Structure 1
Amino acid sequence: MDHAHGITRIDTGFFRDDFDAAWLIVEDGRAAFVDTGINASLPRLLGALEAKGLGVEAVDWVIPTHVHLDHAGGAGQLMRRLPNARLVIHPRGAPHMIDPTRLIAGASAVYGADEVQRTYGDIAPVPAKRVVEAPDGFTVDLAGRRLLCLDTPGHARHHLCVWDARSRSFFTGDTFGLSYREFDTANGAFILPTTTPSQFDPGELRSSIDRLCSYEPEAMLLTHYGRVTGVPRLAADLRTQIDAMAAIAREHKSATDRHERITSALADLYVSRALAHGVDMPPDAIRECLAMDIELNAQGLGIWVDR
């Protein structure tokens, strides 16, 4: 889907439709990808480039917001197809792009080794000479268009968000939460935080959200999923839920069936908020649509509360 200012949303096809996005930015015949999806997503990314009349040699930058595989799993294979591109990544993430061994092991611990291989395939390393570390404030130059990289921990310590002043938008990865189009109502987008294991920190996430909002963005460009507006309301919703989620984790910290209790409480939280937002779906359908996110958030909260 094309947006203004040379920005195109690409549905990577990961997991289901309208779930996982990569973003293409085109400026004066040069291009950058923000997030990549997985290896199986590459035909869609290259197809979007071709639809703009551009070849692989036109891509200057590949910018994963962080190294989780739904955002960067296809980066190594994509870089092999892009002869002129360099990969921009948070300094904490750079070693995992150069040698993905620990990244694969971490994903396997969450999902299981067989599932990681089946879903993500072979995760290719990126040659160190093609990797550019982006500390806080690093600027990417795309044919004169400045893309500002900000350190935004909370979801992960290796997370950056990308500010595009041209569109007054942030490419937010997972820092600004999840918003699925099935949950849109007359009240606007519905949003919830994501704590995916294993580096969630509620205080840092709130601070990162506040920092993004200080730029007064017109829109947020989410990996999960798409462009959302009404940023102040969405940010307030995220802050409220981060606090509620942390409280749930603390309440059940010592329970013998902690994971089950946190999972159930999160489902109740999200369902009640979705219904109050005007989402026209039965509660069980809401739970089913958010089942994977509820499970991962429960895991993330469990790891956080133990820290």
Structure 2
Amino acid sequence: MKKPIQLAEKVYLIDGYDLGMAERTGAYVLKEQQITLVETSSSPSVPHILQGLKELDISPEEIEFVIVTHIHLDHSGGAGLLLEHCPNAKVIVHPKGARHLSNPAKLIASAKAVYGEKFDTLFNPILPIAEDRLIIKQDQETLEVGNDTTLTFYDTPGHSNHHFSIYHPNVNGIFAGDTVGIYYPQLKRKGIDFYIPSTSPNQFDPDKMLKSLSMYKHLKVQRLFFGHYGMSENPQEAYKQVEAWLPIFINEAKEAFDEANDFESRTKSVTKRLFKKLKEDLQNKGLKDDDPIFDVLSLDLEVSGMGLIDYLNKQKS
């Protein structure tokens, strides 16, 4: 297991090894007077988070706040288990997500629908969080985590309706969750800055996503802290790529929707179509045909494909 890395002043990243994969989902540590975590990943990530905290000389008892950008299980699924180790921590969540953390039955059912028999290995256990340990933050509300550090929460739907982003003024950065999609640091190390939208089911909305990106631009942030994965200091390029890929994702989904009659066939078709386009784009940028990132992309596109077809189903009904 690799050690936590420092990304900015008092901001560290712990790899949660979500789905058993490195650089898949991260937990951010704000080493302020009130020590704060942003994201928990799923429950199998909790031992990695605890080990990362130990490496940073932080005891679990010192954690004051655990912020989840949204309640999809790869961002919040480990929160209940983590709280068992962090007796003084409270979880900060979007107003539309709080009830699902205190009663995660619907979250569990949704994840089982997507991941099937892999669910237990990837996500168990998903523990309910007592309501008195939940704090709701509305749009533009703030949280003081240090004498000179106040975070601001912004409602950012598009990926999901229960999604907020957290602006950190001291580093002029925003904890983006999945609002600006997925970033691949593995490719960055090979000289390729690459971002794609994250269109997971079941509340994906492209218009809301673009509106949230416009808000980011208005804030003029210099750093994006992604749920998947790590930090980019090139936000304009991220916006540009996500805005370019989004209509391509929609158009390919429409083609797939029209050529098949059931959800599974349509999802397989759009996943295959998008994979072909992304692979061609990356090969044109010099990436080798057998690069391991293609396995990661395939997984990401399978989930995004489900969200795209779900979105079109709702548009047609």
Q: TM-score range by the shorter chain?
A: over 0.9
- Deviations along 1:116-169, one digit per CA (max 9) or x if unpaired, are 122211211110011011111121111231111111111111111111001111
CA distance in 1, matches of 2:179, 2:47: 27
1:75 CA drift (Å)? 0.1
Which deviates more, 44-53 or 85-94?
A: 44-53
Q: In the alignment, is residue 264 of structure 1 matched against residue 272 of structure 2?
A: yes
Correspondence for 1:293: 300
Residue 28 of structure 2 aligns to a residue whose secondary structure is: strand
Correspondence for 2:119: 116
Which deviates more, 37-46 or 236-245?
A: 37-46
- Deviations along 1:75-121, one digit per CA (max 9) or x if unpaired, are 00111221221110001110111011111011111111x32122211
Q: In the alignment, is residue 303 of structure 1 matched against residue 310 of structure 2?
A: yes
Correspondence for 1:25: 30
1:284 CA drift (Å)? 7.4
Q: In the alignment, is residue 192 of structure 1 matched against residue 188 of structure 2?
A: no
Contact 2:268 2:302 in 1 (8 A): no
TM-score (norm. length: structure 1): 0.94
CA distance in 1, matches of 2:151, 2:305: 34
TM-score (norm. length: structure 2): 0.91
Shift >4 Å, 4+ stretches:
185-188, 283-286
Q: In the alignment, is residue 127 of structure 1 matched against residue 134 of structure 2?
A: no
- Percent identity over the alignment is 28
1:188 CA drift (Å)? 4.8
- Deviations along 1:41-95, one digit per CA (max 9) or x if unpaired, are 2222222323333322321100011111111111001112212211100011101
Do the aligned partners of residues 122 and 286 (structure 1) sit closer, same or farther apart at CA in structure 2, a change above 3 Å counting?
closer
Which among 178, 181, 184 is matched to residue 177 of structure 1? 181
CA distance in 2, matches of 1:240, 1:219: 20
1:172 CA drift (Å)? 0.8
Give the aligned length.
304
CA distance in 1, matches of 2:291, 2:175: 31
1:283 CA drift (Å)? 6.5
1:187 CA drift (Å)? 5.3
Do the aligned partners of residues 279 and 63 (structure 1) sit closer, same or farther apart at CA in structure 2, a change above 3 Å counting?
farther
1:35 CA drift (Å)? 0.3
CA distance in 1, matches of 2:6, 2:62: 18
Correspondence for 2:105: 101
Contact 1:140 1:147 in 2 (8 A): yes
Contact 1:183 1:279 in 2 (8 A): no
Residue identity in the other structure for 2:224: M
Residue identity in the other structure for 1:182: Q
Do the aligned partners of residues 274 and 255 (structure 1) sit closer, same or farther apart at CA in structure 2, a change above 3 Å counting?
same
Cα RMSD (Å): 1.7
Contact 2:274 2:301 in 1 (8 A): yes
Task: Extract unaligned runs of 5+ from structure 1.
Answer: none
Q: In the alignment, is residue 161 of structure 1 matched against residue 165 of structure 2?
A: yes
Which deviates more, 124-133 or 184-193?
A: 184-193
Residue 166 of structure 1 aligns to a residue whose secondary structure is: helix
CA distance in 2, matches of 1:233, 1:258: 31
1:287 CA drift (Å)? 3.5
